[in-house]
């Protein structure tokens, strides 16, 4: 019996049901917040990717200002040798357009070492070869630090996530090397008529058979450098972000330093090669990964690209990629118009 004037303190804790309800609410909130956090992180990575291309665009323009022409796609290398000759007085750069931009990306030391020693014997760079060095500006953070294994020399290549634009892949004229099968043996190393059809982008091939080909200055970009795409994110099947040693890797060898080939140049013409594919693409039973010869992106619905004036644009993954030479008049979609420098067909990248 409670006496008058007495005070009783009543203590009450959480019941088990109430505790479970609180835990469930917290779990629900976390589940709701995680996608937003992940989306925010991916947004930051996409911005960093665009910033990489901005730095590349500024380097392209500095190259243009100092040397009066755009960096070239380099040259094809001798069959079976992914390096380039540094002793032959060929008069043109054999390394890729990315290699040629190194002096304008505060990487002059690496550039000079590569010019002096080639891609596979740069002992002065901390004991590493040129192909083993990572250049951050060439990598999209959404894909991480990617490498390709090379079993014949037991080393690895540092890959790049951006590629220059070429119209289409014409087998003999793009891939031909300095061996006896080269179609240029009968032309003194000069471009053939087919080769001239290929180079409608800003990065033209540098030369062949130790003969330099014409470089590209602003005057030959008749559509205007602000309306012509120089490079964009390239297609990479996310299954092979890190090459597993089997079933692939060819398109990535030997990484960003290589001259005119798939690892640094990609097609815009939709023949047997889709010009744009998302990173999660997979064709049932596919082993050749031909789709990786075009452009693509790890970012949702957007491909980052850089134009000749250094401006960066996010292009829709659903952009019109139509190309039909057979129709009258020929039909060319927006992607083709943006990538070709001299078709007279202007398009707005936005």
Taking all residues of the chain, what is their mean pLDDT, rounded to a whole number? 77
pTM of the predicted model as reported, rounded to 2 decimal places: 0.81
As given in the structure block, the two tokens for residue 238 are 């996310």
pLDDT at 72: 92
Query: Which pLDDT score is estimated for 203?
Result: 93
User: What pLDDT does 343 receive?
Assistant: 82
pLDDT digits (tens, 9 = 90+) for 306-317: 999 999 999 998
> What confidence category does residue 89 fall into, taking pLDDT thresholds of 50, 70 and 90?
low
Say yes or no to pLDDT of 132 above 70.
yes
Contact 184, 176 (CB under 8 A): yes
* pLDDT one-digit tens code per residue, 34-62: 665 556 677 888 999 999 999 999 999 99
**What confidence tens digit (pLDDT) does each residue in 175-227 have?**
554 444 556 666 777 777 666 666 789 998 888 767 788 889 999 999 999 99
Please choose, from the candidates 181, 243, 237, 230, the residue with its C-alpha nearest in 3D space to the C-alpha of residue 201.
Answer: 230
Cα separation, 105 vs 83, whole angstroms = 22
pLDDT in tens, 28-40: 777 776 665 556 6
Q: Which tokens is 282 given?
A: 């997979």
Measured between alpha carbons, how far is 236 from 296 in angstroms, rounded to an integer? 7
Q: Which pLDDT value is given to residue 101?
A: 97
How many CB atoms lie under 10 A from the CB of residue 342?
Answer: 13
Are the C-beta atoms of residues 131 and 257 closer than 8 Å to each other? yes
In this structure, what DSSP letter does residue 194 have?
Answer: H
- Which range has the worst mean pLDDT, 132-136, 216-220, 278-282? 278-282
Residues facing residue 158 across a β-bridge: 147
Distance CA 227, CA 81 (A): 37
Among candidates 350, 339, 284, which has minimal Cα distance to 308?
339
Q: Mean of the pLDDT values across residues 133-142?
A: 91
On the question of pLDDT at 98 being above 90, the answer is: yes
CB atoms closer than 10 angstroms to residue 79: 13
pLDDT for 314: 94
Q: Write out 152-178 in H/E/C secondary structure.
A: CCCEEEECCCEEEEECCCCHHHHHCCC
Say if residues 55 and 105 touch (Cβ distance below 8 Å).
Answer: yes
Residue owning tokens 């990538």: 339
Could you read off the pLDDT of 101-128 as tens digits, one per residue? 999 999 998 888 888 777 666 566 777 7
Read off the pLDDT of residues 229-269 as tens digits, 9 standing for 90 and up: 999 999 888 877 776 655 455 567 668 887 877 788 888 88
Question: What pLDDT score was predicted for residue 79?
Answer: 45
Domain ranges across the chain: 40-339
pLDDT of residue 106: 93
């Amino acid at each position: 019996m409670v006496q008058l004037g007495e005070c009783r303190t009543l203590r009450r804790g959480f019941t088990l049901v109430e505790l479970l309800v609180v835990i469930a609410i917290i779990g629900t909130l976390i589940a709701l917040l995680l996608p937003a956090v992940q989306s925010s992180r991916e947004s930051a990575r996409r911005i960093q990717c665009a910033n990489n291309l901005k730095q590349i665009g500024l380097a392209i323009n500095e190259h243009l200002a100092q040397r009066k022409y755009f960096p070239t796609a380099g040259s094809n290398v001798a069959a079976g040798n992914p390096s380039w000759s540094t002793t032959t007085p060929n008069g043109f750069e054999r390394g890729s357009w990315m290699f040629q931009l190194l002096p304008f990306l505060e990487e002059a030391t690496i550039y000079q070492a590569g010019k002096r020693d080639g891609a596979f014997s740069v002992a002065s760079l901390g004991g590493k070869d040129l192909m083993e060095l990572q250049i951050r500006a060439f990598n999209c953070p959404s894909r991480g630090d990617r490498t390709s294994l090379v079993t014949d020399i037991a080393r690895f290549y540092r890959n790049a996530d951006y590629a220059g634009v070429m119209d289409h892949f014409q087998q003999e004229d793009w891939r031909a090397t300095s061996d006896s099968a080269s179609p240029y043996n009968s032309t003194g190393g000069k471009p053939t008529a087919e080769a001239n059809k290929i180079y409608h982008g800003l990065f033209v091939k540098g030369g062949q058979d130790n003969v330099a080909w014409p470089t590209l200055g602003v005057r030959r970009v008749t559509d205007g450098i602000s309306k012509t795409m120089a490079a964009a994110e390239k297609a990479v099947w996310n299954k092979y972000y890190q090459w597993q040693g089997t079933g692939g890797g060819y398109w990535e060898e030997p990484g960003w330093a290589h001259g005119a080939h798939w690892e640094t140049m990609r097609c815009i013409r939709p023949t047997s090669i889709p010009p744009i594919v998302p990173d999660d693409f997979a064709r049932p039973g596919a082993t050749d990964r031909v789709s990786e010869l075009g452009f693509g992106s790890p970012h949702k619905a957007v491909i980052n690209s850089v134009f000749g004036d250094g401006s960066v644009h996010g292009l829709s993954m659903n952009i019109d990629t139509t190309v039909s030479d057979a129709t009258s008049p020929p039909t060319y979609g927006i992607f083709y118009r943006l990538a070709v420098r001299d078709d007279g067909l202007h398009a707005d990248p936005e």
